[in-house]
Chain A
Amino acid sequence: MTTKPSFSSRISGTMKKYAPQMILIFLVVLFSIMSPNFMTFNNIRLLIRQVSFVAISAVGLMFVMIGGGIDLSIGSQIILTNIVLSIMMVDWHVPLLIAIPLTLVLGTILGIINGILCIKLKIHPLIITLGTASIYKGVGYIIASSRNIMGFPDIFRFFGQGYIGPMPVPIIIMIIVALIGNFILVRTYFGRYTFAMGGNEEAARLAGVNTNRMKVTLFAICGFISAITSVLLLSRVFAGQVSTGAGIEFDCLTAALLGGVSFKGGEGTIFGLITGVLIIGVLNNAMQLASFPDFSQSVVKGVVLLAAVGFDTYQKNRKAKETIARVTA
């Protein structure tokens, strides 16, 4: 049953495996030719900083997705933690070094709430987080009471606007989060369990994995990472507003799907995810350079998403058919 794959099937195998990367390279080459301003150090740095916030949250979402879940409340978690952090720092004058860790704890708790609701109510995470998204956002609006909270200490600018050497801080944090995420997924038993949860939850349970605890932990990780994004975004915007972070989960989801993270769970890599984020970044940036109107950018993003995921699914179906036929033949 094992035969050497032919040359052409090896090529198409590579194509499939690195499809997101190929799309990215294609876009970069295309835009470099189209616009001389695209491939400059400053522009690329700008581009990556623009997407770094999405990239960080997407790592959290990816943990939940590989584990077979989904979190639609990321944006709302950011809204809530953003407002709470603003109030702590501006109204209550809580020092930065206490306020930020507290925010991270709050984010983790929001994630834990998602996880506990999932295991207690036994409803699909999509519905749970749709519900909590509405709740978190609502609470954020209530405690913000339509204020625009301002008056942060200047040092707080560092996280979202600062540089270490030539590198913007958000990019550095993005790299750290991605590396740690990758390490956990690839090297630790927790990573194995995460893939197992999404691959076959019942088999994981019967192999001795505490699946309920896993679910809560994965949502907690997502909440914790969302809170990191929240801190960075607040530092960048430098004003506590309820619009910060709204809808970011859809960008994260788009990036994850573009990067080959499976919606069904059990599949995904940080490498793919970052590629997906960069594809979005390149599209946004290039279309801004070419001064495309906002709405047409949205159209292009949608088309690229459907094309990429459609291609991937088509490949998989074909492969699955061949595999099934081979196995049952």
Chain B
Amino acid sequence: MNTKVVLSLKDLTKRYPGVLALNHVSFDLLEGEVHALLGENGAGKSTLIKAVAGAIDLDGGIITVDGQDYSKMTPHLSRSLGIEVIYQEFNLVPALSVAENIFLGDRTGRSPLVDFKTMKSKAREIFKLFNVDINPNTLVQDLSPAMQQVVEIAKAVSKNVKILIMDEPSAPLSVSEVENMFEIIRHLKQKGVTVIYISHRLEEVFKISDRVTVMRDGQYVATRLTKDTNRKELISLMVGRELKESYPSRSNPPGEIALEVKNLSGNGDKDISFSVRKGEILGISGLVGAGRTELAMLLFGAVPIEGGEIWVEGKPVQIQSPQDAIQQGIGLLTEDRKGQGLFLEMGVGWNISFPIVRKLSKYGIVDTKTENEIAEKYKQRINIKTPSLTQRVINLSGGNQQKVVLAKSLAAESDILIFDEPTRGIDVGAKQEIYNLMRELANNGIAILMISSDMEELLGMSDRIIVLCEGRMAGEVNKEQFSQDYILDLASGEH
């Protein structure tokens, strides 16, 4: 491997009121390497990349790029040094075309008018390089998240990127799409681009990175050659103790059928049939766009049902709105917790009790005493780390926000819970807690549907898995038949 240092961080320090977000962090990045950055939520990864991108001012430390020292970085300077960041939330303009997005802010020619022709041909060149087929005229809003990400990468490449920072790039992608992205990363690497790759998924780190740096509580912990380390070591470096993700298994046999779906259609899904029993965790697998979240929304009454039947506890039910679903004891923990699950500006207790405040009211007046008792009960039961129930949810970490969403559904006393990507974007420790809680709920007789793109988690947690492909049922897999390959085959429609 090349040993030329392209970016060197020395003693980076950033203070926020009450928190040392970066505490004298130092490490080097080599030319043409893929360098994974690992750490739990709150470890300082995001602050670090913001510092390198010039999005925040440092309180101390030096960033050295190509031998030049900088104690103050600005977004403009960072870009001019060839540093590009792809954040979790894409920075694309949905209503503009792919080509326009790639060259947004750049002048392609000398004319004051936009030179669409050059723009498009340059965009095509980049896509050819990546070996992907995207029409530069397509509007970004019409692209899948995976393709939007390719556009983001293309945008960076068009600016002669030397150091590409990717923050959780695989989060919105399915397994095969991640593989495509890796291809592009390997390609960039060959051209000498340094990639900083941030991810919660350890298997990806082993697949793509050359070296890996672990951070914890704002501090640098260690850097390892990826080939010389293992999963166990990295996790213990991240959490500072030995910890293994383990999937608690079922303790009692599943009970009666809680939910049965017969030939359900709508929201892009067609003819879906399955059932889930009390005490059972039914995994729902499929690629992005297979219609998994769409199915969850359909079951929950958030979109109109076009055909088929839903049976709850042996009786057919009409679910035309979320109210109906809640009435039937169905709870949904959405994939997009900030957009659909939480009132970020409101307090923890306010959020937890929201679905039941009406029930807690007499003559329309909320019984705040009972409300607080219930909120406190669920806060303790699932161990939400917050100083008080009035703390605004926006100030909690991702894992604790997810627990608030869970507490909401529990407070509503749902018998059937749909978890859509329950551990996306949350750290190892919190993940384990969520797993334990899910199993505990199941053992208490709750029927669980779990949608997850994390294959390991899905195989580990589920008692049974149904696979969707392009809005249709591709198969149902029992625990004895669980294998990643088999499920992937089903998901990609090869059976």
Residues of A near any B CB (own CB < 8 A): 1-6, 9, 187-190, 192, 195-196, 199-200, 202-210, 266-267, 322-323, 325-329
Contacts and interface: CB of A to CB of B under 8 A. Distances in A.
Contact of A206 (B21, B56, B332): B332
A190 B19 contact: no
B42 A1 contact: yes
A9 B14 CA distance: 19
B401 to A, nearest CB: 9
Given A188-B366, A192-B366, A327-B394, A208 B19 contact: no
Contacts of A188: 361, 364-366
Contacts of B342: 200, 203
Interface string B337-362: 00111111110001000110110110
B49 to A, nearest CB: 10
26 contacts: A1-B19, A1-B395, A5-B17, A5-B18, A187-B365, A188-B361, A196-B343, A199-B345, A200-B344, A203-B342, A205-B322, A207-B322, A208-B325, A208-B326, A322-B16, A323-B395, A325-B47, A325-B56, A326-B19, A326-B21, A326-B395, A327-B396, A327-B397, A328-B46, A329-B42, A329-B44
Interface in B363-400: 364-366, 387, 391, 394-397
A195 B366 contact: no
B345 A267 contact: yes
A329 B326 CA distance: 36
Given A203-B340, A209-B323, 13 more contacts: A1-B397, A3-B18, A188-B365, A189-B360, A192-B350, A192-B366, A200-B342, A200-B344, A205-B322, A267-B345, A322-B16, A325-B16, A327-B42
B267 interface: no
B17 A190 contact: no
A2 B396 CA distance: 10
Contacts of A210: 321, 323
A329 B46 contact: yes
A3 B17 CA distance: 8
Interface of B: 14, 16-19, 21-22, 42, 44, 46-47, 50, 56, 218, 300, 302, 321-323, 325-326, 332, 334, 339-346, 350, 354-355, 357-358, 360-361, 364-366, 387, 391, 394-397, 408
Given A1-B42, A192-B357, A323-B394, A203 B341 contact: yes
Contacts of B395: 1, 323, 326-327
Contacts of B345: 199, 266-267
Given A199-B345, A266-B345, A208 B397 contact: no
Contacts of A328: 46-47
B16 A266 contact: no
Contacts of B323: 208-210
B343 A199 contact: yes
B301 to A, nearest CB: 9
Given A203-B343, A206-B340, A266-B343, A2 B332 contact: no
Contacts of B339: 200, 202-203
A207 B364 contact: no
B299 to A, nearest CB: 12
A206 B322 contact: yes
Given A2-B387, A325-B47, A190 B364 contact: yes
Given A205-B302, A207-B354, A207-B355, A329 B21 contact: yes
Q: Which 6 A-B pairs have the closest CB atoms?
A: A3-B18, A329-B21, A328-B46, A199-B343, A189-B357, A2-B387
Contacts of A195: 343, 346
A329 B366 contact: no
Contacts of B343: 195-196, 199-200, 203-204, 266
Nearest to B357: A189
A267 B341 CA distance: 18
Contacts of A204: 343
Contacts of B366: 187-189, 192
Contacts of B350: 192
A209 B339 CA distance: 16
Which of A199, A205, A208 has the most chain B CB within a 10 Å cutoff? A208
A189 B357 CA distance: 6
B126 to A, nearest CB: 30
A327 B300 CA distance: 31
Contacts of A208: 321-323, 325-326, 355
Contacts of A200: 339-340, 342-344
A267 B360 CA distance: 23
A265 to B, nearest CB: 10
A138 B132 CA distance: 58
A284 to B, nearest CB: 33
Given A188-B365, A329-B19, A329-B42, A206 B396 contact: no
Contacts of B358: 189
Contact of B341 (A3, A190, A206, A266): A206
Nearest to A320: B394
Which of B302, B343, B355 has the most chain A CB within a 10 Å cutoff? B343
Contacts of B321: 208, 210
A204 B323 CA distance: 11
Nearest to A196: B343
A170 to B, nearest CB: 28
Contacts of A1: 19, 42, 395, 397
A1 B361 CA distance: 34
Contacts of B360: 189
Contacts of B44: 329
B405 to A, nearest CB: 10
